[in-house]
Homo-oligomer: A and B are copies of this chain.
Amino acid sequence: MTGPREERAAPKRVTVIGTGLIGTSIALAVRKAGTEVLLIDRDPATVRLAAELGAGTPWTDELADLVVLAVPPPAVAVTLLDAQSRGLAAAYTDVAGVKGPPLAQAARLGCDLRSFVAGHPMGGGERSGPLAARPDLFVGRPWVLCPGAEADDTAVASVRAMVAACGATPVTMDAADHDDAMALVSHAPHVVASAMAARLAEAPPSTANIAGQGVRDVTRIAAGDPSLWQEILTANAGPVADVIEAVAHDLAGTATALRAPGGSPGPVADLLARGVTGHGRIPAKHGGPAARLTTVTVLVADRPGELAMVFQAAGVAGINIEDVSIEHLRGRPIGVLRLAVAPEAGPRLIAELRARGWSVPGPDTEPEETDAADTR
């Protein structure tokens, strides 16, 4: 639970162009760090709303240390050119989810690439607009920075200080590497989830009765806003196409192997093995090395105060709950509470809960659920 801490002072004055979810959240975060914030948006009502939310004051003609371009990818280069031509700040950054195309366009337009450090904060939510903004939106999350070869050290330092003020962790990458990586960990997974979910659109209604957590997880992100995702996929079309084409190739090959008379186990086994390897490359939710936790399952009444008593029992025993989930049981007024704790704390927690009268079936290690433990 330790990581690099940025000790640089936040910039004294920042101008945020684009007061949507991301821009307003950045404004709220740096304001908390003592930075003065000026707000610009092509929609004056949005600027007023962001200002009323405490994000800063509407820009009139002030100069700043740093300009944050929180505008959609296709607008980054032209907005940068305009801001630089008016000399709005000493340094500039953006927040677009794709880095190569805006940088190439900025170079073509003749933007000053010494004062520009491209950036991309990870995080956000299903909602958009300033009303969804939160000062803690980026806390603990990675924030990719792609300083070009021309970038000034002072511009880089200024942007890093702003990232630190937002509580995020800067990760430096080449712009093309960023776009390939985003295709792999965000854009292609969205298309793959959509393609799997699309199969369910044609399924008979009874199918839904037996859907479990597996398909729910695989397809969860397919619920995202289609027009937003259309824009994202189009902006990073080449790298996304490369990944989903490779996925399609593997799936088609697996289908052929499954249909082979007598069975052709090789390709199926190969794909499953590569899937296990690839899954292992993704860090666990909490960052840092994936500590093995013990899960203690408790049956609890589905009523106010019941959870408090369980957590209180853990607290009294000096046990820290690392993760928690609740599953409500269909047609029953009880729920299954799963508490993840350090392995050494498991037996103590079970004893404590049983002593207080709860039904605790016994500890599991790695409780991830499958739909398929139907053999033995």
Contacts and interface: CB of A to CB of B under 8 A. Distances in A.
Contacts of A315: 304-309
Contacts of A273: 226
Interface string A218-255: 11111110101111111001101111111111111011
Contacts of A279: 197, 200, 219-220, 222-223
A320 B299 contact: no
Contact of A195 (B136, B217, B251, B361): B251
Interface in A297-339: 297, 299, 302-312, 314-333, 336
A212 B91 CA distance: 29
A4 interface: yes
A129 interface: yes
Interface string A353-376: 000000001101111111111111
Q: Which of A217, A248, A302, A325 has the most C-beta atoms of chain B within 10 angstroms of its own C-beta?
A: A248
Interface in A250-295: 250-252, 254-256, 258-259, 263, 265, 268-269, 271-283, 285-288
B322 A324 contact: no
A282 B200 contact: yes
B195 A271 contact: yes
Contacts of A185: 200, 207, 210-212, 214-215, 371
Contacts of A325: 323-325
Contacts of A272: 194, 222, 226, 229-230
A8 interface: no
A258 B237 contact: yes
A173 interface: yes
A320 B332 contact: no
Contacts of A209: 142, 171, 283
A110 interface: no
A344 interface: no
Contact of A193 (B120, B198, B218): B218
B128 A373 contact: yes
A216 B193 CA distance: 12
Interface stretch (A14-22, A79-87, A151-159): A14-22
A374 B124 contact: yes
A216 B376 contact: no
Given A304-B315, A373-B124, A259 B230 contact: no
A109 interface: no
Q: Which of A177, A271, A371 has the most C-beta atoms of chain B within 10 angstroms of its own C-beta?
A: A371
Given A136-B299, A308-B308, A177 B197 contact: no
A113 interface: no
A215 B182 contact: no
A78 interface: no
B1 A195 contact: no
Nearest to A219: B279
Contact of A278 (B200, B274, B282): B200
Given A220-B279, A222-B275, A230-B265, 20 more contacts: A1-B330, A126-B368, A126-B369, A140-B331, A171-B209, A173-B206, A182-B210, A184-B200, A185-B215, A185-B371, A197-B278, A211-B283, A217-B221, A229-B272, A232-B374, A234-B263, A242-B255, A247-B248, A308-B308, A325-B325
5 contacts: A139-B336, A180-B207, A198-B247, A201-B275, A211-B282
**Shortest beta-carbon contacts, A-B, top 3:** A124-B373, A20-B376, A3-B331
